Amino acid sequence: MNELFFSDYFPQIATEEDIRKIDEMITGRYVSERMKTIYRRLLGPQGILGASMFYADPLGINLLMMERLKTQSASLGYQVNVEDGHFISADGRHTMIIAHTSVPVTDSAGSKKLIGALKEKLDMLPPYISADIVSGHLHTLSNEKVIKRDIRLTIGIAAAGFMLLFLLVFRDIRAVLVFLIPAASVVLSMNISNLMIGSLSYWVAGLGTVIAGISVDYGIHVFVAVRNSGNASKVIGHVARPIMLGAVTTAGIFAAFFFSDIEGYHQLALFSIISIFLSLLLALTILPQFLSKGQWLFVRKEAGEGRDRGPRTRAVIITTVWALLLIAALTGSFRVKFDSDVVKLDGSEREVFQAEENFHETWGGKDAGGILVVSGGSYEEALEKNDRIFRQVKQQAWGDGFRSFSELWPSLKTRNENAVRWNEFWRGGKEEELRRLIRESTLKYGLRDAAFTPFFRRLYIQTPLKGGDGGEFISAMKERFVQRDRDMYRVLSFFPDERGYIDKLSGVAGSHEGTFIVSRKALSRAISETLAAEMKLFAMIATIFIVLLTLLFLKDLKKTLLALVPVITNVLVLLGIMSLFGISLNIANLIAGIVAMGLCIDYGIFMTYRYEHDLKRSAVLAVTISAVTTLIGAGVLLFARHPALFSIGLTLVIGVLAGYVSSVVVIPALEKIFSSPAGSE
């Protein structure tokens, strides 16, 4: 920018605020100080070279322009120079190449081909040139790699845990069938799902051990009941109903995910439902054929052992402690926050994040704010719309951080208005006043007032103005602020990426067609709102389904409420523990929490149903082993490196454990209180 820049361009961009500031400069005191400053600088080494600049700008109006440029530069966030159409870093040692691709980020196979092709090209570079790839496709591939590794690890641990449990507890080689049923069901379900909807995503496949831990319950209930009775046909008649209800309620929980528009949820729902019903079918039809009465590790119940005749006082104590714990958990649950930052669930390898860190160190932009995009069919149309939005925002108290191209180069219409106002200001007596003040002040320092003739000669600007980009400087700035896509022009404005700005600018954008916000936090918030809305819908559907189906099956309101005890305990204890340890809700543990509701209602149904059919011991044993297998299937995810799988595992472990304890401890206590006469011991 040369010393006459303000003379040529500043009058076109000077706002009413700029005119007010200039008016405040035209005082005897300020002009005298400026003459003193100019005199001292002329005596210095820079005096010879800077004389023309001082004489062309006696008031220091260029400082207003420089301050505006400074704030604009800071708002961009990125340190990019454009040279011959290439993006060059500030240190001149790096160049950036932006490649457009039709491959969706979610396309695993396409991402693998794309990244592979890029790496082949990069391998051809000479040794003294290095390059990093920064792409969402890398995250897709890296997450897939991490999940694959986690799947292999968790399957191995879960298989060993299941086998050890069955061999130690059942002490019967035929118990292996109980393990093989869910394993076979999961494998068959994957293949059936692949035929119906295509390949499953790896994060859905990563939940295979969890699904196996869930669907193994049906075989456990059949195995325990038959081994305790020895009469398969008789026992199957008793346990089939609660087993089938458990399967239907759990499948119903997953079916709620079909109401989502997200493909991954559909995959999870289909895969889980098929696995559950395959396991149910095999458990009720195939497994009994291999079982007969035999020696059992646990002593089976004797006649008359169906009901616990212990003291009612203990039941009251248990119920009171349980109620107090739930109240405490409920109080803490209000402090749990939803974390919508999906980046925290990104399990990509360190190399992927390191490449992005290198990028930000070179190019900046790590703390870049949000962007308001204004679109128009022509350059001037886009600029005029951008001017209207800029004025609307700057009139607000919150608009100080808003940086727009209008500050540097508004539309031709606005520049003509500014030029007219500029001329009127000086012709209104300010030119004569400034000449007088300069003449009076220059006498003190031996300066000639005629030296400032260049300023006054270029003071007025000819109107009306014609179009143009304002020379090289404005053209360079235009490359950063204005984009052209065929016949569409887009003007960018920058603002702090904060919720307050996003809320207010969303209203501004909504009132101007073709205007939208690009913001990491806005995107995160939109995702959060969408996911939160979907999760509320899923939870509502799951809750209604559970309550209605349980009531329909048990045909008794009191029994239904008892069966819901593990579900209520699961939800409140989970939220209470998350509050206690400062764990935020995210999409992964919300999914796991809803699934845990389906598991816990199964425990409640079996523990309530057992009293009606005098199956207490076998029911408690079956529920205990079912919970243990589910905890194994979910617990192995605690060994996963991927944050989403780990979060799911942690949530299921807490929820299932809380639901199990309440089903085998609290439900019997509540039944004793409700069924025992008042005051009996």
DSSP per residue, 341-358:
-GGGG----HHHHHHHHH
Q: What one-character DSSP code corresponds to residue 106?
A: T
CA-angle at 62, arms to 57 and 68, nearest 5°: 170
Task: Identify the three-state secondary structure at position 547.
Answer: helix
Give the pLDDT band (50/70/90) at residue 614.
Answer: low
Q: What one-character DSSP code corresponds to residue 608?
A: H
Q: Which residue has the higher pLDDT, 624 or 485?
A: 624
Q: Exposed, middle or buried: residue 158 (CB in 10 Å: 0-12, 13-18, 19+)? A: buried
Contact status, residue 140 vs residue 106, Cβ threshold 8 Å: yes
Handedness of CA 219, 225, 231, 235 (dihedral sign): negative
Task: Identify the three-state secondary structure at position 582.
Answer: coil
| Average pLDDT over every residue of 245-255 | 85
Residue pointed to by tokens 């239907």: 248
In angstroms, the first-to-last Cα distance of the chain is 95
Give the pLDDT band (50/70/90) at residue 615.
Answer: low
Residue 404 has pLDDT above 50, yes or no: yes
Q: Which residue has the higher pLDDT, 67 or 681?
A: 67
Contact status, residue 270 vs residue 193, Cβ threshold 8 Å: yes
- Cα 71 to chain center, whole Å? 30
Contact status, residue 655 vs residue 648, Cβ threshold 8 Å: no
Under 8 Å CB-to-CB from 477, ≥6 apart: which residues? 72, 405, 408, 409
Residue 208 has pLDDT above 90, yes or no: no
Task: Identify the three-state secondary structure at position 516.
Answer: strand
Residue 524 has pLDDT above 80, yes or no: no
| Average pLDDT over every residue of 440-465 | 86
Most confident of 69-78, 172-181, 289-298, 497-506: 497-506
Give the pLDDT band (50/70/90) at residue 470.
Answer: low
Separation between Cα atoms, residue 519 and residue 504, nearest integer Å: 13
| Average pLDDT over every residue of 615-641 | 81
Question: How much of the chain exceeds pLDDT 70, in percent?
Answer: 84
Mark 527-558 as b/e (b = at least 16 C-beta within 10 Å): ebeebeebbeebbebbbebbbebbbebbeeee
Please report the pLDDT score of residue 433 as a whole number: 95
Residue 101 has pLDDT above 80, yes or no: yes
Of 208, 179, 316, 200, nearest in space to 640 by CA: 208
Q: What is the dihedral of CA 507, 513, 518, 523, to 10 degrees?
A: 60
Please report the pLDDT score of residue 394 as a whole number: 84
| Average pLDDT over every residue of 594-620 | 75
- Identity (one letter) of the amino acid at 265? Y
Separation between Cα atoms, residue 632 and residue 644, nearest integer Å: 18
Q: What is the mean pLDDT of the chain?
A: 81
Establish whether the linkage from the previous residue to 464 is cis, with ω within 30° of 0. Answer: yes
Residues in a beta bridge with 478? none
Q: What one-character DSSP code corresponds to residue 370?
A: E
pTM score of the predicted model:
0.67
Contact status, residue 268 vs residue 254, Cβ threshold 8 Å: yes
Of 161, 214, 223, nearest in space to 186 by CA: 214
Tokens encoding 410: 């508004």
Q: On the CB side of 573, how many CA atoms lie within 13 Å of its CA?
A: 25
Please report the pLDDT score of residue 574 as a whole number: 93
Distances (CA, A) of 479 to 52, 87, 96, 377: 30, 11, 15, 18
DSSP 387-446: HHHHHHHHTSTTGGG-EEGGGTS--HHHHHHHHHHHHHHIIIIIHHHHHHHHHHHHHHHT
Tokens encoding 617: 């011991």
Give the pLDDT band (50/70/90) at residue 7.
Answer: low
Of 665, 640, 670, nearest in space to 652 by CA: 640
Contact status, residue 345 vs residue 643, Cβ threshold 8 Å: yes
Tokens encoding 277: 């019903």
Please report the pLDDT score of residue 295 as a whole number: 43
Please report the pLDDT score of residue 117 as a whole number: 92
Please report the pLDDT score of residue 454 as a whole number: 87
Residues in a beta bridge with 489? 376, 484
Please report the pLDDT score of residue 679 as a whole number: 45
Most confident of 131-135, 249-253, 529-533, 609-613: 131-135
Helix axis angle, 136-169 relative to 176-197, nearest 10°? 150
- Identity (one letter) of the amino acid at 467? G
| Average pLDDT over every residue of 441-446 | 83
Q: In this predicted structure, which of 228-237, 350-359, 508-517, 662-671 has the lowest mean pLDDT?
A: 228-237
| Average pLDDT over every residue of 554-579 | 91
Please report the pLDDT score of residue 228 as a whole number: 66
Please report the pLDDT score of residue 27 as a whole number: 94
- Identity (one letter) of the amino acid at 569? T
Residue 230 has pLDDT above 80, yes or no: no
Please report the pLDDT score of residue 598 as a whole number: 83
Residue 525 has pLDDT above 80, yes or no: no
Please report the pLDDT score of residue 435 as a whole number: 93
Give the pLDDT band (50/70/90) at residue 310.
Answer: low
Task: Identify the three-state secondary structure at position 484.
Answer: strand
How is domain 138-346+523-675 classified at the CATH fold level?
Multidrug efflux transporter AcrB transmembrane fold (1.20.1640)
Of 1, 6, 2, nearest in space to 58 by CA: 6
Give the pLDDT band (50/70/90) at residue 423.
Answer: very high
Please report the pLDDT score of residue 322 as a whole number: 95
Residue 361, Cβ neighbours under 10 Å: how many? 11
Question: How much of the chain exceeds pLDDT 90, in percent?
Answer: 20
Residue 278 has pLDDT above 80, yes or no: yes
Separation between Cα atoms, residue 407 and residue 387, nearest integer Å: 9
Task: Identify the three-state secondary structure at position 366.
Answer: coil
Give the pLDDT band (50/70/90) at residue 268.
Answer: confident
Please report the pLDDT score of residue 71 as a whole number: 65
Strands (E), 183-323: none
| Average pLDDT over every residue of 216-240 | 72
